[in-house]
Amino acid sequence: MIEIIVKNSKLITLPRIDDGIDGSISAAENFNHIPFAVKRVYYIYNLINQKAIRGKHAHKKLEQALFCINGACEIGLDDGTLHQEITLDTPNTGIYLGVELWHTMKNFSNNCILLVLASDVYKKDDYIRDYDEFKKYIDLRRRRRVRGGNGNQ
Ligand code: T46
């Protein structure tokens, strides 16, 4: 059993209904299995280059849930203090990827399909693509929280 130690993340286990040799079904519902309302679905596939490293960014407001629905890949999570690598290789086990988490996706099997459920439409301004900028951003948010603000200014 994987244990998530970084902030703003947790494992999501979807129900799995098995129909024997006729296959299996897993379903995800807003605010039940997924802790937000899904506004966008996208998937990453055609991972011919197994050395590909994707992600390398954090989001300011976007929440996501990642499921490797075919094959396998490794997700790196970094909250600015703790770092961990998680292998996703089970279609009904995913990761909740909350705000302010630097993440990478790598070690893709060539049949990997990574399904992502997102809390908002694509917004370029929500990305932090520089690691030093990410560290400064989360330090500032932390200082604001300590001073008693909600960190949203
Ligand atoms: C994330 C990880 C898990 C769009 O036009 N619309 C979209 O909805 C998405 C997701 C991407 N794009 C465009 C933006 C770029 O020109 O697709 C291109 C590749 O996007 P990016 O380099 O951000 O891809 P990844 O795999 O590094 O990151 C993606 C998501 O963008 C990101 O939000 O958290 O998957």
Contact by Cβ (8 Å): 14, 33: yes
Neighbours of 29 (CB within 10 A): 10
From its phi and psi, is residue 8 left (phi > 0), alpha (psi between -120 and 50) or beta? left
As for ligand 1, residues whose beta carbon falls within 6 Å of it are: 40, 42, 44, 54-55, 64, 116, 122
Amino acid identity of 19? D
Query: What is this structure's pTM?
Result: 0.95
CA pair distance 58, 65, nearest whole angstrom: 14
Domain boundaries of the chain, sorted by first residue: 9-147
Q: Which of 15, 30, 11 is nearest to 119 (CA)?
A: 30
Contact by Cβ (8 Å): 116, 42: yes
Q: Can you give the pLDDT at residue 50?
A: 82
- Could you tell me whether strands 24-25 and 83-88 are parallel, antiparallel, or unpaired per DSSP bridges? unpaired
The model's confidence at residue 2, banded by pLDDT at 50, 70 and 90, is: confident
> Does the annotation mark 57 as catalytic?
yes
- Residue among 57, 59, 83, 103 flagged as catalytic: 57
Give percent above pLDDT 90 in the chain.
91
Residues making up the chain, counted from first to last: 153
| CATH 3.40.50.300 for domain 9-147 | no
Average pLDDT over residues 99-121: 97
User: Which residue of 38, 41, 44, 125 sits with most ligand 1 atoms within 8 Å of its CB, as the best mutation to test the pocket?
Assistant: 44
**Per-residue pLDDT for 153 more than 60?**
no
* Burial (CB count <10 Å: 0-12, 13-18, 19+), residue 6: buried
The Å distance, Cα 8 to ligand 1 centre, comes to: 20
